[in-house]
Homo-oligomer: A and B are copies of this chain.
Amino acid sequence: MSKNGYHIAVVGATGAVGQQMLATLEKRTFPIASLKLLSSKRSAGKELSFKGTTYTVEEATPESFEGVQIALFSAGGSVSKALAPEAVKRGAVVIDNTSAFRMDTEVPLVVPEVNPKDLEWNKGIIANPNCSTIQMVAALEPIRQKVGLKKVVVSTYQAVSGAGLEAVDELKTQTADLLAGKEANPEILPVGGDKKHYQIAFNAIPQIDVFQENGYTFEEMKMINETKKIMNMAELEVAATCVRLPIETGHSESVYIETEQEGLSVADIKELLNAAPGVTLQDDTANQVYPMAAHAVGKDDVFVGRIRRDLDRANGYHFWVVSDNLLKGAALNSVQIAESLIQQDLLS
């Protein structure tokens, strides 16, 4: 690092995640020597504030990455596919928050609490997992380390900010319209680019991202495949049902697991999670303490509660996992990857 820190670029700086990236870099006093805010042509020229200084957002081009050491990408898969290799060519390490490279066998997919060592074999691009995957593996890893993991069945309760700022606006406008007795006019959710759009206000939509031929959505397949890759367990059984809800920010997950070994008590799990990095246990049912999206917003940790044994299988457990999808689910995890690269002395 230069004497003042690193030369950083944020691609997609004006988006929901991009703005959280800037807030996170600021909050964690990440060592920054220079900062470039990049975006599509459409958003170029906008002004954003960082540590009291106003920055003008520039259009991202291959040349934008000259001199950049760490490039945080969150501007959609096509932008990453086009520009991440260009950034790497110019010497930057790319931490990519899109799904573009996640399943690429040449690209490590990293949650620093789970598989920081995978950063060692990076070739310039590191992928940040899907938001719903990150919070789940952070909660599962301490259990897996202790008794192994055989099967995971997850049903998600996902917030609209995962679909971008436009989806947040749609939720708010639509909710106000319905409360005023007007009709809902869905234009974005469940998936901006898909054929049909459905009411999200006061509704639950069992579709996030587009459908695959096997009947699962791409979001569900992300959770399935990314969990196996992050945990380095190709044989792990994972199934997911991903649902979009009228919540602005904060993803929740109902998780059922079967462990390899039997005998772990609920008290054991609580102890493991209490000691786990990045995880906060919120589990006191006698006092109605459990994680909730509304309480997780703006917080860094993954919150776990409602831990209980399956009533039939000795290796079965149920729990409830909540996290801010824009922070640990995206921006924070990306910045933590950058911090882990520095800590492990993996930046050239």
Say yes or no: is A256 at the interface (Cβ < 8 Å to chain B): yes
User: CA A206 – CA B289 in complex, angstroms?
Assistant: 10
Instruction: Sample 24 A-B pairs with CB under 8 A, ordered by A number.
Output: A153-B256, A157-B157, A157-B204, A172-B179, A175-B175, A175-B179, A179-B179, A194-B288, A195-B287, A195-B288, A196-B288, A198-B294, A199-B294, A203-B247, A203-B294, A204-B293, A206-B290, A206-B292, A224-B311, A237-B311, A238-B311, A238-B312, A243-B252, A246-B246
**Cβ-defined contact, A256 with B254, below 8 A:** no
Which residues A173-222 have CB closer than 8 A to chain B? 175-176, 179, 190, 194-196, 198-199, 202-207, 211, 214-216
A241 to B318, Cβ gap below 8 A? Answer: yes
- Which of B195, B206, B313, B320 is close to A237, meaning CB atoms less than 8 Å apart? B313
Rounded to whole angstroms, the CA-CA distance of A158 and B290 in the bound complex is 17
A224 surroundings in chain B (CB, below 8 A): 311
Query: Which residue of chain B lies nearest to A214 when distances are taken between CB atoms in the complex?
Result: B308
Residues in chain B near residue A238, CB distance under 8 A: 311-312
Is A226 in the interface zone, CB < 8 Å from B?
Answer: no
Q: Kindly state whether residue A122 has any CB partner on chain B within 8 Å.
A: no
Q: Which residue of B has the minimal Cβ distance to A240?
A: B318
Establish whether residues A243 and B157, one from each chain, have CB atoms under 8 Å apart when the complex forms: yes
- Smallest CB-CB separation from A236: which chain B residue? B312
CA distance A98 to B339 in the complex (A): 55
Residue of B nearest to A203 (CB): B294
Q: How distant is the Cα of A279 from the Cα of B146 in the complex, in angstroms?
A: 44
Tallying the copies of this chain within the complex gives 2
Q: Are B151 and A204 in contact (CB under 8 A)?
A: no
Interface size class on chain A is: 35 or more
Q: Contact partner of A318 among B179, B198, B239, B306, CB < 8 A?
A: B239
CB distance from A148 to the nearest CB of B (A): 16
The answer to the question of A329 belonging to the interface, with a C-beta cut-off of 8 Å to chain B, is: no
Interface of chain A residues 282 through 312 with chain B (CB within 8 A): 285-288, 290-294, 305-312
A266 contacts the other chain (Cβ, under 8 Å)?
A: yes
Nearest B-chain residue to A205, judged by Cβ: B292
Residues of B close to A195: CB separation below 8 A: 287-288
A18 within 8 A of B: no
Q: Does A129 reach chain B (CB closer than 8 Å)?
A: no
A245 at the interface (CB under 8 A from B): yes
Interface check A316, CB cutoff 8 A: yes
Q: Which of B215, B246, B320 contacts A266 (CB 8 A)?
A: B215
A201 CB, min distance to chain B CBs, angstroms: 8
